[in-house]
Structure 1
Amino acid sequence: MSFPRSLLAVSLVLTLASCGQSSTPGGAPGQVGPETAQGSTLHAQATPVWTQVYSDEFNGTALDTSKWIAVNGAANVNGELEYYTPEDVYLQNGTLVLRTQKRSFGGRGYSSGEVRSGNNVTVTRGSAVEWRTKVPKGKGIWPANWLVSTGCDGINGCGSAWPPEIDVMELRGSQPTINNMTHWWGTYPNQNYQTTQYAGPDFSQDFHTYRVEWLADRITFYIDGVQRAQHTANITTGTMQLVMNTAVGGMFDGNPDASTTFPQYQLVDYVRVYRDTSGSTGGTNLVTNGTFDGGLSGWGVWSPNNAYQSTVFTETYNGRNGAHATEYSASPYEVHTYQVKTGLATGNYTLRAWVRSTGGQSVGEMLVKNFGGTQRSLDIRGYTNWTQVSIPNVYVTNGQAEIGFHTTAGAYQYLYFDDVEFFKQ
């Protein structure tokens, strides 16, 4: 249910299914052996332990506005025709009702309902979300239960705040037997996506459960408790809100025609959020403030003569999803930004991040060291667009590891990094 989708050409991978703290480096880190970008590496799939952390069963008399925002405004995205109004959002018989009407409202020919959690309820990697929903149908009707960046407002799109996005239930009203399960990654306007279609029953005839489990190494989709898709490449990062809505018209299913009846209703019996509490799977990111939304909090910095104040900072310029870290100077420089993680269980770990660089530096690397083995480094100077890279199979034997980014560069050469993760495989 993404906003800028119609504006850009994107790369599509389609599959079909049927119901059949600080330490100070003693010197500049050295590069040890070549590594390759591992954005699509498959990691060991440990079993997560899901603990429910939030639910709304919609058993009250009115929408809980401490958790949910009923969107109010004309949708100015995707060529859609509806005006979202709180009038079309209400609770009835233990369900959330999103009503879609054909009527003149707010300068549009249709009104409909959209509910989103904003910053009230958010999820990150290591989360699962499940809806039990009965969908509407009809040409031009576009229901969805999905996750999207908290920077999206439901009316005017997201801009640079998008991606991330995960579409868990998304149907064309003219094809109510096909559910589309999609995740988006990258940086607008150069985003990409992967989608899987599942052909099942007519989903508009009854309630069905739609669930996503979002871990660092995979996104798994379930319908009625049965796995119907799993995506293991280019896993989305960031913080997302929950959204339930029904759009009308636009680029996904076209506009309503004479066969479309109104009003239509999307009924949501519940939404439940879970967190992986196993402490040993890819869902548990051990990095503190890996998104840099908290500035450089949690990170140590080293440079010769303590000149790091002017060479490492956070910013949103050229960002992929909010803030990112930047190593940069108007004069030649060297700097190392790092974290030391302790109390680690023996085993294999992966360091993963999104990076971007001008190129041309003497050294520009992501690295792991002091873990009981030979330092591992990945040359990241050549990634002039935001790219997800990783160093997998870091075998920790001494209970600790130092992770970081090191640059030796000339004037005006930069290295960006964001959404840094270090997790046990």
Structure 2
Amino acid sequence: MVNLKWLSPLRTCIVNPLRTVLPVCLLATATLSTVLPDPVSAAAPAGYTLYYADEFNDTVINEDDWMYRDAGPYSLGYNRKENVRESGGSLHIDFKREQINGTWYNTCGGIVSKKLFGYGYYETRAKLFNSTTGLHSSFWSMGLSNHIAANNITGLTAEIAAGNLPFYNQATEIDGFEHDSANGYYDTGTITYIPGYGSPRQHVNVTPDAWHIYGYEWTPTAIKFYLDGTLVNTINTVTTPMPFAPANFWLTALGYRTVSDYTKLPGESEFDYFRFYAKSYPAANLLGNPQMEFTVKDTSKGYTDQDTPNWIETYDKDASFMTTTDAHTGTRSLKHAKGSNYLVTTKQNLNGIANDTYQLSAWVKSSGGQAQAQMRVLNYGGTEMNITVPTTSTWTQITLNNIPVTNGQATIAFTSNANSSQWMLVDDVIFSEVSATTVYEAESLPVTTSTGDSQTNYNDAVTGKSFNNLNGNGVGDYVQYTVNVPQTGTYTVYVGNRSAFNKGIYQLAVNGTNLGSTVDQYAATSGYMESNLGTVAISTTGNQTFRFTVTGKNTSASTYQLAYDYITLVKN
């Protein structure tokens, strides 16, 4: 029995299942016509390791790790702690009609994790109430914010006060399923709480009152939704960006909709387990709001532009705030300052990250003179590592290398112990796993082209590969990729080329300097080839520019197009 235990070390249980993939085009309100069979079991996608699980085998909820959705009234509904229970190896959320303070309400409830989870695979096995209208059952992620404590989550105020959760932590809500009872389908998709981002949704048909396994996979490039091990929806977060921040996990049911037949109550939605699986995401930044650019969409809740979305503040919290007066990139940065002596820490707690070697970097400015002005990493399985922020009036990058995470978690923190004349600025923070070999899929990278040209992503039906194609028409045309390199050093660069009869010859330049010799992508028969373009020294972490410029074409080639499958960097 696994009962909400943190499994350590992280790599103790590796699963490598096969998945049947059902391609689905992403539409705002598309519906699948196939009703999938009830499952016996399913498993995470290949490469994932179980990190966290509650099998709901006890008789009470583990309140060390879960909070209750317990408040009301709202419309016709009320959330109640008493409606959530464990029995028979499952979590039961009861749906009732009850009188509270002289008024009749539809009552239900739910649980929300105290821990935050980011990239990974989320799964539950559930049987949902469907006998009459009125119940909204959900399996989802969303960060908690201070205003939610007033009408939803017991214990949230204490968690924020203790420095366990951020004051504001809503970025992207991921809905593994949202099901309204009496419907033969559920919704998947996202809702974003940062201005400027979209929220794509999609229907999926299901027999909700039978047992099914629901899952969603959150990666740096996509959010994928599964039903009984079959892919039913994909959101490409490169083409449809979503603001990232680790979030709380929810299993909930709301009884706030009209009930057409009260003789069907009481009822329940039942959850067999919740499991979170982790894996390596080399080069991906695991921090929420690392560029300090997120602002709060709903300012009516009392938040201001100086609040620090997705970051936790402790001690003298008013000495930590966002400023628009100076930034390394964008328009905002984090500032530590106050009109009197102060001690403040701004941090993030990360859970469910791969056990591996990491690097932490940030761009900083500082008045100097503080008793303490540090970038720190704690709770990673070893002794605290830190670096002093230097006295500097210009933006300067600082780095902590070789951070050996051994327990699947880490705390990233900036601490100032200073007087009223001293200050510190922080921007563009990166905490990422350092792998000796990092593969960047070309079709997932930020891309620009020469004026008048365009690029297109293609799927190769024969090989199953995807590639990015420059529709160039002459010498000097180029396609340029932005590659995020988390650690300085010397790298050997390999390029996966898509060769064909219509491809030209190119020269690669990294950060403006040519690397290696030219490469001819022409081939009479379409295929793939890998080129070793030599070594490049990366002196600054973060975004690097890889530009592929057309230098000519084979005499047999029909056009000057270029096409790429991947860029691989191998650290020497």
TM-score by length of 1: 0.60
TM superposition shift of 1:346:
4.6
2:185 counterpart residue number: 178
Q: Could you tell me which amino acid in structure 2 is paired with residue 180 of structure 1?
A: D
1:117-128 pair list within 5 angstroms: 117-119=113-115, 122-125=116-119, 127-128=120-121
2:558 counterpart residue number: none
Matching of residue 15 in structure 1 with residue 151 in structure 2: no
Alignment partner for residue 194 of structure 2, among 148, 170, 187?
Answer: 187
SS in 1 for 2:106: strand
TM superposition shift of 1:118:
2.6
TM superposition shift of 1:405:
8.3
2:214 counterpart residue number: 210
Write the distance in 2 (CA, Å) between the matches of 1:341 and 1:168: 26
TM superposition shift of 1:100:
1.2
TM superposition shift of 1:261:
2.5
Q: Deviations over 1:298-321 (max 9, x none)?
A: 434377998756979xxxxxxxxx
2:247 counterpart residue number: 240
Q: Could you tell me which amino acid in structure 2 is paired with residue 203 of structure 1?
A: P
Write the distance in 1 (CA, Å) between the matches of 2:204 and 2:283: 31
Q: Indicate conservation of the 8 Å contact 2:93/2:108, yes or no.
A: yes
SS in 2 for 1:299: strand
SS in 2 for 1:63: coil
Q: Indicate conservation of the 8 Å contact 1:346/1:396, yes or no.
A: no
Root-mean-square deviation over aligned CA pairs? 4.4
TM superposition shift of 1:271:
0.8
Write the distance in 2 (CA, Å) between the matches of 1:170 and 1:338: 34
Write the distance in 2 (CA, Å) between the matches of 1:211 and 1:260: 32
1:113 counterpart residue number: 109
SS in 2 for 1:237: coil
SS in 2 for 1:87: helix
Residues 95, 397 of structure 1: alpha-carbon distance in 2 compared, 3 angstrom cutoff? farther
Q: Deviations over 1:318-373 (max 9, x none)?
A: xxxxx9x9xxxxxxxxx9967698965355448989xxxxxxxxxxx998797765
Residues 424, 15 of structure 1: alpha-carbon distance in 2 compared, 3 angstrom cutoff? farther
SS in 1 for 2:61: coil
TM superposition shift of 1:240:
1.1
Matching of residue 95 in structure 1 with residue 90 in structure 2: yes
Q: Deviations over 1:207-246 (max 9, x none)?
A: 1110011111111111111111111132451111111111
SS in 2 for 1:18: coil
Alignment partner for residue 255 of structure 1, among 248, 254, 258?
Answer: 258
Alignment partner for residue 54 of structure 1, among 41, 49, 52?
Answer: 52
Q: Deviations over 1:20-61 (max 9, x none)?
A: 7xxxxxxxxxxxxxxxxxxxxxxxxxx851100111111111
Q: Indicate conservation of the 8 Å contact 2:50/2:277, yes or no.
A: yes
| More relative contact order, 1 or 2 (CA 8 Å, 6+ apart) | 1
Q: Could you tell me which amino acid in structure 2 is paired with residue 49 of structure 1?
A: G
Matching of residue 136 in structure 1 with residue 141 in structure 2: no
Matching of residue 167 in structure 1 with residue 175 in structure 2: yes
Q: Could you tell me which amino acid in structure 1 is paired with residue 363 of structure 2?
A: V
Write the distance in 2 (CA, Å) between the matches of 1:402 and 1:84: 51
2:520 counterpart residue number: none
Matching of residue 264 in structure 1 with residue 267 in structure 2: yes
**How many residues of Structure 1 are paired with residues of Structure 2 in the alignment?**
307
Write the distance in 2 (CA, Å) between the matches of 1:401 and 1:108: 66
1:302-317 pair list within 5 angstroms: 308=392
TM superposition shift of 1:72:
2.0
TM-score by length of 2: 0.46
TM superposition shift of 1:401:
6.3
Matching of residue 299 in structure 1 with residue 378 in structure 2: no
Residues 91, 401 of structure 1: alpha-carbon distance in 2 compared, 3 angstrom cutoff? farther
Residues 173, 341 of structure 1: alpha-carbon distance in 2 compared, 3 angstrom cutoff? closer
Write the distance in 2 (CA, Å) between the matches of 1:296 and 1:118: 16
Gaps of 5+ in 2: 1-26, 36-44, 154-166, 291-310, 313-345, 349-359, 368-389, 397-411, 415-425, 447-481, 492-508, 513-532, 545-567
1:65 counterpart residue number: 63
Q: Deviations over 1:132-172 (max 9, x none)?
A: 11101221211111111133747647996433211112111
Matching of residue 222 in structure 1 with residue 239 in structure 2: no
Residues 258, 343 of structure 1: alpha-carbon distance in 2 compared, 3 angstrom cutoff? closer
Write the distance in 2 (CA, Å) between the matches of 1:347 and 1:198: 35
1:388 counterpart residue number: none
Q: Could you tell me which amino acid in structure 1 is paired with residue 114 of structure 2?
A: G
Write the distance in 2 (CA, Å) between the matches of 1:367 and 1:51: 25
SS in 2 for 1:64: coil
Write the distance in 2 (CA, Å) between the matches of 1:179 and 1:303: 49
1:74 counterpart residue number: 72
